[in-house]
Amino acid sequence: MDQLPNLGREQEMLDIMGISSMKDLFEDIPVEIRSEGTLPLPPPQTEEEILMDAERLLGANVNLDSRPSFISAGLSRNFVPSMVPMIATRGEFLTSYTPYQPEVSQGMLQAMWEFQTMISELVGLPISNVSMYDASTSAAEAITCAVRVKSKKVEMPNTVYVSELIPPHRMSVIENYTQGVGIDIRKIPHDEDGFLDLNAATQASGSCAIYVEQPNAFGILDEGLLKLREVVGDKTAIIVGVDVTSLGLVEPPGNWGADIVVGEGQPFGIGPTAGGPIYGIFACKKDFLRLMPGRIVGQSIDTEGKTAYTLTLSTREQHIRRHRATSNICSNETLIALMGAMHMALLGPVGLETLSTRILSSTRMTIDELSSVEGLELAFPKSPVFREFAVKVPGKSSEALSHIFELGVIGGFDLGQWWPDKGSWILVGCDERTSESDISLLKKSLTSWVEESS
Amino acid sequence: MTDTIFDFNGSKNAGWSQPSPLTDDSTSHIPESMRRNRLPDWPRASEPELVRHYTKLSQKNFGIDTGFYPLGSCTMKHNPRLNEKIVQNPGIDRIHPLQPEEQIQGLLAIYYEMQEMLAICSGMDAVTLQPVAGAQGEFTAIRCIQEYHRERGDNHRDKVIVPDSAHGTNPASASMCGYQIIEIPSANDGRIDLDALRSAVGDDTAAMMITNPSTLGVFEPEIAEAAEIVHSAGGQMYYDGANFNAILGKTDPGRMGFDAVHYNLHKTFSQPHGGGGPGSGPIGVKEHLSKFLPSPLVNRKELPSGDIGTVGDGFLYHWEAPASSIGKVQQWNGNAGAVVRAWAFYRRYGRDLERMSEHAVLNANYLRFRIMNPSSDLNIHAMPIEGCPAEVVKHEFTLSMSPLKDATGVTGKDVAKRLLDFGYMAPTLYFPQIVPECLMFEPTETESKEVLDKFAEDFHAILAEDPEILLTAPHTTPVGRVDEVWAARNLILRYPKDEPSS
């Protein structure tokens, strides 16, 4: 109630208007549909009381920093520089909205234009928007965008091929976004090393698009994808989902033929935050610009010819184009993208390479240590990986994970939850914060599980 | 071009130190053909330079914290700082959405409380917190309605009805589900035209999407009848919750006859708008739609007596998949951080959320009265006319600046730009499109009487100014009026140095 400056002054304001009571302000609601009595909710609380409850409730959660943690599956237990939340949550950024009035929104507009540049540089494509909701909606809207651009130009209109190894929750988002507009989604298999079956991928030639991930759901870096342009021909759009932090070491997809690059931006800017708010990146070639989703900032000039920034190409968007819009997206994740921009700017090019190397190193060391445990088996021992890898354990992975949690370690993700035939696989995720002692505790606890279950 | 983040000439290496990698030779594990040859041209700047860069940028940005933000339809209310403090807690910031239920009991308890609270406030039976923006909530609800019709064999229902005053996201969201849009005109007074609705519905109607109060800020008195018309044709009623701030505790979409509703936690429940997001757009539905909701929802089981559980309330919280769920619309379980902020906001009001809506409506009516009743000694060129005649409005109202345009050539946009010079954010411009030269004002409940008085006074002063001043406004902002056509024609969408070829 302390959020109402006019509390206690109602009558004074009503008198000026010549209205007798607060009740009169709601007389336009027909009696039959008016609420009766007070909302059946608890009484109001003060800031002090709410904070106490929040700390107790959130304190009941087991946070990833409280013990060695190896759960990733598309998010990163990253380290966010202290500057990022402190400066990004300045009130001028935090409490602004979509910059419909560019003259008083130059700060956020310029920051987003710089963000677009950094994403463009990162993935090797010329155009970026100012964010999507997350990696999954970004992938789904990349597919619908590619269909809009390509359908009239290819032999297989409304048809898109996707890697069968896309995580099921992402596939579900893609299905929801594509089912109504009649897009036929067809799957492409992977071989026993986890690589995309390039022979099967030739089927995609002549379709609107092919969507693959690099690294894929098992962390595998697939060298064969470098030949994908050759395999699918020039007409089919290539959409690639990336781990943004791999791109300090790994060739960006824009350099090997990708038309659209999407991915989870979260590792730059914000903690895993129980899954949101995070942000999806969306970058593309110029041919896709006019039919792409999301907000775009362009440079311009003011009446004096001075450099200024503004939202541009808004005629694609729902508030103007309505049912013919390229997407329904309105609110996006700008503030989180701002945090991402700050994080990327602090890293700089060399810092990015260092970050990628740290993640790769901790992944390799974890693999090496677990490989030496009798009874554990790497699912794809020959394939290069980044951040994640799948390991087979004796018994059920869910039980193995409970066992090692009792020993103080969050050991990864039970892949049986995504694919029932992988109920003994654990997806182990590493990051820049994984330490030697974390790895040795994971090894020790998994060794204990192997002994327990034999 | 100067002063962009790419123009720093400082540190040539990253200005920010990191620990060394655990091993030296890891790079050899990446096949040579896959290795990146050239690092991205990211900024090369140190923390001191960057902090100053972004602070300077922030000073060129207008937020609720810097001044009155009467942007209609966006509910730009104060964002309590407690909420920002809470989400820094590692119990939300450092949580992975795939952690087992036992590890996130506190978060699930907050989700459960929010599901219950939103259901109560809206008269719905079940709520999902997964959609991450209002538009995504609309899309999700229409997907649920689509599956409902399919299950009943009503595959021929392929049309969604929206009034011409609806938010653009309504038709865009329905269209993404594959529906054809039937737009019906509003009546002359801006209200829903029941005759137009009667002739639009039929056995091909899947749903009607409407907001109430309407985008004109006026309550639709015939809403129950509209619902009756749509239901008797076999269609479903969808409530766009963008204007929910006006009615909490006074009425609810359930009573009005709606089957599904979305909430904008960033509007009604004060998740900060952040320059364009994040938002959060949970949806609520009636029982018959609940089994189609996205998965998972949160439920709870009572523990045996004596066991207080992890959060101390005697319950064990768990995820639960609705029987015929449409699956996922976001990768995880929604914008959890926004849900936690909204939870902290709602706790401040509890059962008195009604007071919040009362004050939102009081402020809107007061501002409207002040603007429409200037003191007589002013030399105003032409007064605006109301977008919709109504004795009282709800949380927002519209004014048409057409008389001013006719008298002086000054447009609604010119007035909006001039307001920036007085230290205000402009109202929503040219929406809804059915009101010519429209300005839409939403003061929210968190502005004091003095702010509203001063705004009305400044607004009148603007209406009395030399038209030339307005036509060339703004004059005191960091840049003058920005040429949007130039931007669209030149398409400079990134820093031009070393642009990768497409």
Longest CA pairwise span in chain A (Å): 84
Residue B35 falls inside a structural domain? no
Q: For A371-383, write each residue's pLDDT tens digit.
A: 999 999 999 999 9
pLDDT at B13 over 70: no
Chain A nearest-CA distance from B4, in A, is 8
How many helices (DSSP H) and strands (DSSP E) are in chain B?
A: 17, 13
Give the A:B interface size as CB pairs under 8 Å.
719
Q: Tell me if B240 is assigned to some domain.
A: yes
pLDDT > 60? residue A50: yes
Instruction: Please calculate the CA angle A242-A245-A249 and round it to the nearest 5 degrees.
Output: 95
What residues contact residue B420 under an 8 Å CB cut-off, 6+ apart?
A101, A103, A104, B62, B426, B473, B474, B476, B477
Do B289 and B336 lie in a common domain? Answer: yes
**Confidence band of B201 (pLDDT split at 50, 70, 90):** very high
Please, are residues A391 and A377 in contact by the beta-carbon 8 Å criterion?
A: yes
Of A273, A255, A253, A271, nearest to A263 by C-alpha is A253
Whether pLDDT at B325 is above 70: yes
Contact criterion met (CB below 8 Å) for A99 and A233: no
Is the same domain home to B386 and B345?
Answer: no
Beta bridge partners of A392: A377, A425
Averaged over B205-222, what is the pLDDT? 95
At residue B9, does pLDDT exceed 50? yes
Q: Is the pLDDT of residue B336 over 50?
A: yes
CATH assignment of the domain containing B249: 3.40.640.10
Q: The domain that contains B400 carries what CATH number? A: 3.90.1150.10
B202 lies in the same domain as B348 = yes
For residue B491, being part of any structural domain is answered with no
pLDDT at B497: 66
Whether B392 is in a domain gets the answer yes
Residue B107 exposed, middle or buried by CB count within 10 Å (0-12, 13-18, 19+)? buried
- Considering chain B, what is the average pLDDT of its residues? 95
How far, in Å, CA of B411 to CA of B438, rounded? 9
Residue B502 pLDDT more than 80? no
**Dihedral (CA of A120, A123, A126, A130) sign:** negative
Nearest Cβ partner of A96 from B110, B275, B311?
Answer: B275
Question: Phi first, then psi: what are they for A311, rounded to 5°?
Answer: -65, 145
Asked whether the beta carbons of residue B76 and residue A97 sit closer than 8 angstroms, the reply is: yes
Q: What does the pLDDT read at residue B315?
A: 98
Reduce the DSSP state of residue A429 to 3 states and report it.
strand
Place of tokens 């002054």: A9
Chain segment B94-103, per-residue pLDDT in tens: 999 999 999 9
ipTM over 0.85: yes
B119 with B187, same domain: the answer is yes
Tokens of A74: 């598309």
Which tokens in the block code for residue B86?
A: 């809470």
As a whole number of angstroms, the distance between CA B311 and CA B297 comes to 18
| Domain-embedded: residue B73 | no
Q: Are strands B236-239 and B205-210 parallel, antiparallel or unpaired?
A: parallel
Nearest to B249 among A35, A58, A130 (CB): A35
Domain assignment of residue B111, yes or no: yes
Number of domains chain B is built from: 3
Instruction: State residue B498's pLDDT score.
Output: 55
- CATH architecture label of A65-78+348-453: Alpha-Beta Complex (3.90)
Q: In A, which residues are within 8 Å of B329 by CB distance?
A: 137, 173, 176
The domain defined by A84-343 folds into: Aspartate Aminotransferase; domain 2 (3.40.640)
Q: Band of the pLDDT at A319, cuts 50, 70, 90? A: confident
3-state secondary structure of B24: coil
Is the predicted pLDDT of residue B15 greater than 80, yes or no? no
Question: In this predicted structure, what is the pLDDT of residue A316?
Answer: 84
Q: Are residues B3 and B107 in the same domain?
A: no
Per-residue pLDDT of A142-187, as tens digits, reads 999 999 999 999 999 999 999 999 999 999 999 999 999 999 999 9
pLDDT of residue B500: 46
Mean pLDDT of A300-309: 97
pLDDT category of residue A326 using cuts at 50, 70 and 90: confident
pLDDT at A78: 97
Instruction: Tell me the β-bridge partners of B300.
Output: B317
- A27 CB-near residues (< 8 Å, 6+ apart): B391, B392
Give the mean pLDDT of A70-89.
Answer: 97
In this predicted structure, the answer to whether residue B353 has a pLDDT above a threshold of 90 is yes
Q: Where are the domains of chain A?
A: 65-78+348-453, 84-343
- Same structural domain, B428 and B342: no
Residues B348 and B407 in one domain: no
Structure confidence by residue, pLDDT tens digits, B262-280: 999 999 999 999 999 999 9
pLDDT value of position B186: 87
Query: Domain containing B55: what range?
Result: 1-17+41-59
Alpha-helix residue ranges (DSSP H) falling in B80-131 = 81-86, 90-93, 105-122
Sign of CA dihedral A365, A367, A370, A374: negative
pTM of the model: 0.97
Cis before B213 (ω within 30): yes
**B334, B348, B492 ranked by CB distance to A50: nearest:** B348
Average pLDDT over residues B171-195: 92
Cβ <8 Å between A331 and B55? no
CA distance A323 to B50: 41
C-alpha separations of B191 from B210, B367, B392 in Å: 11, 22, 14
Contact flag B29-A325 (C-beta cutoff 8 Å): no
Q: Are residues B340 and B374 both part of a single domain?
A: no
Nearest CB among A3, A92, A435 relative to B63 is that of A92
Residue B1 has pLDDT above 70, yes or no: no
Query: What's the full length of chain A, in residues?
Result: 454
Considering chain B, what percentage of its residues have pLDDT values greater than 70? 97
Q: Do B352 and A74 touch (CB under 8 A)?
A: no
Share of chain A above pLDDT 70, in %: 100
* A142: phi then psi, degrees, rounded to nearest 5: -65, -40
Residue B238 and residue B177 share a domain: yes
pLDDT tens digits for range B366-395: 999 999 999 878 899 999 999 988 999 999
Q: Is the bond preceding A215 in cis, omega lying within 30 degrees of 0?
A: yes
- The separation between the first and the last C-alpha atoms of chain A, rounded to the nearest angstrom, is 61
Widest pairwise Cα distance in chain B: 81
Considering only alpha carbons, which residue of chain B is nearest residue A167? B331
At B501 the pLDDT is: 45
**What does DSSP assign to residue A98?**
S
Helix H or strand E segment including B438? strand B438-441
Helix (H) or strand (E) holding B429: strand B428-429
B188 three-state secondary structure = coil
| Segment B124-167, tens digit of pLDDT | 999 999 999 999 999 999 999 999 999 999 999 999 999 998 88
Domain boundary among the residues B352, B382, B410 is at B352
Instruction: Indicate if B345 and B362 belong to the same structural domain.
Output: no
Say if residue B336 is in the same domain as residue B304: yes
Identity of the residue numbered B318:
H
Whether A304 shows a pLDDT value over 60: the answer reads yes
Assess whether pLDDT exceeds 70 at residue B2: no
Q: How many residues are there in chain B?
A: 502
Q: What is the pLDDT of residue B191?
A: 87
Is there a domain that residue B297 lies in? Answer: yes
Q: What's the pLDDT band for A323 if we cut at 50, 70, 90?
A: confident
* Residue B309 in domain: yes
Is the peptide bond prior to B43 cis by the omega test (within 30 degrees of 0)? Answer: no
pLDDT at B12: 60
3-state secondary structure A46-86: CHHHHHHHHHHHHHCCCCHHHCCECCCCCCCCCCCCCHHHH
